[in-house]
Amino acid sequence: MTSAEPPVCPRCRGEALLWARVPYGWANREGGRVAGRTGVVLCPACDAQAPNAAALITWFHVHGQADDEDEEFVRLLVGWATSVSVPPLDEHAPEAEIERWLRGDL
Ligand SMILES: [Zn+2]
């Protein structure tokens, strides 16, 4: 997905190349799969070493704008999007934050 305004990279606050929704999920308490989607950005600075990102970043440098009618772009996009790693959900993070808040550390 792309928009008129370039997305902002949440890691370096720089200008990212594109924003995409990728499948994301975790196992719930009963072991059932909770499936959803989450947004990720492709950042030319932060993702230069990420799997399958370099070729897509290079594609943007050459062509400028995303073009979903370009077979090469779609191939590179799918390759990157399927290898993006999203950190697993930390189910203890909210409790830890509440404890820190109650102690006055937050
Ligand atoms: Zn970045």
Ligand 1 centroid, distance to 32 Cα (angstroms): 34
Contact 22, 40 (CB under 8 A): yes
Ligand 1 centroid, distance to 103 Cα (angstroms): 33
What pLDDT, on a 0 to 100 scale, did the predictor assign at position 3?
Answer: 52
Tens of pLDDT, residues 13-52: 999 999 888 877 778 888 888 888 888 899 999 999 988 9
Cβ contacts of residue 52 below 8 Å, gap of 6+?
Answer: 76, 79, 80, 82, 83
Contact 43, 6 (CB under 8 A): no
For the chain, give every domain's residue range.
18-103
Q: Which two tokens stand for residue 49?
A: 């070493």
Ligand 1 centroid, distance to 41 Cα (angstroms): 8
Q: Which two tokens stand for residue 87?
A: 């950190």
